[in-house]
Amino acid sequence: MTDPFLVLTPEKVVVSYRVCGFGTRFWAHALDVVIAGSFVFAVLFVVSFFARVFGPELMFIGVLIGLVAFLAYFVLFEGLWRGQTVGKKAFGLRVVMVDGTPVTFLAALYRNLLRPADMVPALYLVGILAMFLNPRSQRLGDLVAGTVVIGDPTPSLGFTPAPHRVGIHRYESTVGELRRMSIEEYQALKRLCDRFPLLPAETQQWAVDSIWAPFAERHGIQTLTDVHPIYQMQAVVMKYGRLHKLI
């Protein structure tokens, strides 16, 4: 199941992702279960040691901690590591929103809260059936969270994506005062910055040439030849957003 998943971006560009089905996801999940399970086993081993001293009731608390830790592994990795766990990274998979933007932490939480349900035999079969019957190969958690698992499209980048929602960007001094910048331009650049690391290389270049270059010329921004354009785009978004209390 590697059908293309097409997304029409707000920039009116059709981006194609490769939807990943049961086989690759199974092996990625198996690796994650081994890693998360090893950590849970270590927690239970330590708790069992103290249970001999403080009583068997402590084991119940240990089991709860283990279950929370197991789910936290998936939630934290997917929510904070741009949609990838160790298993997904190893097998070239990534979780994204159905509109192609990076997965949100809340969506990562929702899709993984239903992970125990996917492990119940009866519901597990329902989850597999759902993956085979819908064109995006979504399990139950994906359907609830509005996410899809794709083949990692991230190209070999010549830059490190930086957060552009908080703080002061190091290149803000190069983008001017942005006095004539509109809220529509802000929203367009912000969407582009959110989506940029996940776009194929040719679409990235198209966005730089057709969106960023005209914007920079219109606002008198001197582009830096030795700096990737995404950095100045992020600087614009951060500066305008902070000045107008949008972030």
For the stretch 151-195, pLDDT in tens is 876 555 555 555 555 568 888 999 999 999 999 999 889 888 888
Interior/surface letters 185-205, b for 16+ CB within 10 angstroms, e for the rest: bbebbbbbbbbbbbbeeebbe
* Rounded-to-integer distance, Cα 192 and Cα 160, Å: 16
Are residues 19 and 6 in contact, defined by beta-carbon separation less than 8 angstroms?
Answer: no
Residue 198 pLDDT > 80: no
Kindly report the backbone phi and psi dihedral angles of residue 55, in degrees, each rounded to the nearest multiple of 5, phi listed first. Answer: 110, 155
Residue 35 pLDDT > 80: yes
Residue 53 pLDDT > 80: no
Bigger pLDDT: 63 vs 150: 150
DSSP state of 19: B
Q: Per-domain residue ranges for the chain?
A: 4-151, 172-243
Give the residue from 23, 242, 230, 16 showing the smallest Cα distance to 131: 23
Residue 241 pLDDT > 70: yes
Identity of the highest mean pLDDT range in 15-19, 149-153, 156-160, 207-211: 207-211
What are the angstrom distances between the C-alpha of 137 and each of 2, 33, 129?
9, 21, 9
Residue 102 pLDDT > 80: yes
Answering whether pTM is above 0.85, one says no
Q: What is the predicted pLDDT for the residue at 120?
A: 57
Q: Lowest mean pLDDT: which of 34-48, 67-81, 213-227?
A: 34-48
Q: What is the predicted pLDDT for the residue at 197?
A: 78
Residue 66 neighbours by CB distance under 10 Å? 18
Amino acid at 59: M
Q: Phi-psi bin for 121: left (phi > 0), alpha (psi -120 to 50), beta? A: alpha
Q: What is the predicted pLDDT for the residue at 3?
A: 60
